[in-house]
């Protein structure tokens, strides 16, 4: 009959992947005042645990200044991960589009922040 199991969300294949939810946060004004800028990408609610994260700034991959946490398990048995992009405040002000891209189970998910829309 296959490997279908019933759960709270209806009928699913056993071991189904759950896509991540993503949020991206700009640097604070207080941090920018210290001539630094850190963007934060929070990725939550996914399974299985494996995924890759990359940052793209104005359409170009950004590797410098990137730090990511290890994947950790949430209370709901799904997973979370955070990634940080650090730079000088001058660099932050010199660019417009910042994207956090996640590859999970062969699918790409992107969350984008436009600097001009940050008040």
* pLDDT score of 27 more than 70: yes
Residue 57 lies in a domain: yes
Residue 6 lies in a domain: no
| Residue 17 pLDDT | 86
Percentage of the chain surpassing pLDDT 90? Answer: 84
- Comparing C-alpha atoms, which of 80, 59, 58 is closest to residue 71? 80
- Comparing C-alpha atoms, which of 82, 10, 6, 15 is closest to residue 47? 15
Which CATH number do you get for residue 56? 2.60.40.10
37-79 pLDDT, tens digit per residue, is 999 999 999 999 999 999 999 999 999 999 999 999 999 999 9
| Residue 11 pLDDT | 36
C-alpha span between 27 and 25 (Å, rounded): 7
| pTM confidence score | 0.84
Please enumerate in sequence order all residues whose Cβ is within 8 A of that of 42, keeping only pairs 6 or more positions apart, or say none.
22, 23, 24, 25, 80, 82
Residue 91 lies in a domain: yes
68, β-bridge pairs: 83
State how far the alpha carbon of 91 is from the alpha carbons of 13, 116, 119, in Å: 46, 14, 17
Q: Give me the count of residues in the chain.
A: 119
Residue 11 lies in a domain: no
Residue 12 lies in a domain: no
| Residue 119 pLDDT | 65
State how far the alpha carbon of 111 is from the alpha carbons of 6, 40, 102, in Å: 32, 11, 9
Residue 100 lies in a domain: yes
Residue 4 lies in a domain: no
Counted domains in the chain: 1
Residue 7 lies in a domain: no
Please enumerate in sequence order all residues whose Cβ is within 8 A of that of 30, keeping only pairs 6 or more positions apart, or say none.
none
C-alpha span between 65 and 22 (Å, rounded): 20
Percentage of the chain surpassing pLDDT 70? Answer: 87
- Print the domain residue range for 79: 18-112
| Residue 48 pLDDT | 96
* pLDDT score of 15 more than 90: no
């Amino acid at each position: 009959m296959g490997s279908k199991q019933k759960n709270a969300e209806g009928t699913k294949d056993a071991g189904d992947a759950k896509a991540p939810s993503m949020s991206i946060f700009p640097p604070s004004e207080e941090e920018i005042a210290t001539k630094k800028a850190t963007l934060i990408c929070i990725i939550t609610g996914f399974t299985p645990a494996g995924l890759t994260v990359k940052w793209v700034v104005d359409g170009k991959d950004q590797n410098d200044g990137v730090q990511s946490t290890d994947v950790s398990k949430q209370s709901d048995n799904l997973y979370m991960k955070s990634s940080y992009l650090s730079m000088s405040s001058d660099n932050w002000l010199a660019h417009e589009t910042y994207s956090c891209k996640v590859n999970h189970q062969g699918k790409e998910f992107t969350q984008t922040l436009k600097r001009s829309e940050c008040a």
